[in-house]
Every structure is written in structure tokens, then in C-alpha cells.
Amino acid sequence: MRKAIFPGTFDPFTIGHYSVVERALTFMDEIVIGIGINENKNTYFPIEKREEMIRELYKDNPHIKVMSYNCLTIDFAQQVDAKFIIRGIRTVKDFEYEETIADINRKLAGIETILLFTEPELTCVSSTIVRELLTYNKDISQFIPKGMKMND
């Protein structure tokens, strides 16, 4: 079975993240969306809410699991028995950063990273921008997956 993790903060989960997951499902049997807990980041949504929103979005897809973790990404991958890490990249800067992390992860744990380039129309979408729009009470519906519930 080909199992991967898709790690991130996902604050919030955007249409860019959704696109990466959907495309990765074409060659992975199972994807664990791993929500990393990073005390150094100021998040908009608490971890429980992020888990709930993403889990609800994929509730009918048995190939997707949603979990949070508070350790190195490679340790999380090993905990869930994933052999691959999926990452989406939007820019050359993203590529350079992800290449370095992928090299370290391969050396430390033998885990391969698969980079998926963001679809051109989604390169402007980032969780940071969506959080800022939320802060100013702007409509973010075009930037999050259809059917994703932001409020209770």
C-alpha cells in the first residue's frame, strides 16, 4: 500500500491544499493529512477546529485520514507507517526550501518527498492571505474547498 502524509499547519485548509490532496490520491492509496502543532506560529483557528474542518470535508473518503502531531514530520510519518511525504509548491522559493528539507528527511529516515507544483490559477492562494482576509471579515469562500464548514 502506498501511504503518504501531507503535513502542514492548514490554518486554514485552502483550495490549494485540496488540489494537492486530490492530485496525490491519483497515485497514493492513503493520505494522512498531518496538522503540525507549532507553538512558534500564531494561528487563527485552534488545532481542534482545523482537525474538525478537514475531517468533515473528507468524511466520505476512506482514503484520507486527519491527525495532528507535535514532533518532527519524519517521526510522524514513521508513526503512521507512511513512506512518502507530499508537499505542494507555488514558487521557486518554496522549491528551494522543500528540496533542502526533502534531502534531510531522506538522509535521516529514508522517506521520499513528492513535490506537486500548484496549479497556475492557485499560486496566489495561501493560508496567510486567507487568514488576513478573515481578520478583516472578508468573504473567503472562493479560497477554501466547496463544502468546508468554517463555523459551527
Q: Where are the domains of the chain?
A: 3-136
- Closest to 125 (Cα-Cα) out of 107, 109, 143, 112: 143
Q: Is 17 annotated as a binding residue?
A: yes
pLDDT greater at residue 38 or residue 132: 132
User: What is the rounded distance in angstroms from the CA atom of residue 142 to the CA atom of residue 33?
Assistant: 22
Beta bridge pairs of residue 89: 117
Q: Is 41 annotated as a binding residue?
A: yes
Q: Where residue 38 falls among pLDDT bands split at 50, 70, 90?
A: confident
- pLDDT (average), residues 71-79: 97
Q: Is 93 annotated as a binding residue?
A: no
In the numeric block, the cell 468554517 is attached to 150
Q: Is 10 annotated as a binding residue?
A: yes
pTM score, whole prediction: 0.94
- 44-64 pLDDT tens trace: 999 999 999 999 999 999 999
Q: Is 128 annotated as a binding residue?
A: yes
Q: Is 63 annotated as a binding residue?
A: no
Phi and psi (nearest 5°) for 3? -125, 135
Q: Is 123 annotated as a binding residue?
A: yes
Q: Is 54 annotated as a binding residue?
A: no
Whole-number Cα distances in Å, 94 to 10, 97, 98: 16, 5, 6
Q: Is 9 annotated as a binding residue?
A: yes
The predicted pLDDT at position 136 comes to 96
**What is the share, in percent, of the chain residues with pLDDT greater than 70?**
99
- pLDDT (average), residues 9-29: 97
The predicted pLDDT at position 130 comes to 95
Whole-number Cα distances in Å, 133 to 9, 14, 89, 103: 17, 13, 22, 35
Q: Is 143 annotated as a binding residue?
A: no
pLDDT exceeds 80 at position 119 = yes
Contact present, 114 and 86 (Cβ < 8 Å): yes
Q: Is 71 annotated as a binding residue?
A: no
Residues whose CB falls within 8 Å of the CB of residue 112, separated by 6 or more in sequence, listed in order: 83, 84, 85, 102, 106
The predicted pLDDT at position 118 comes to 93
Q: Is 90 annotated as a binding residue?
A: yes
What class has domain 3-136?
alpha beta
Q: Where residue 152 falls among pLDDT bands split at 50, 70, 90?
A: low
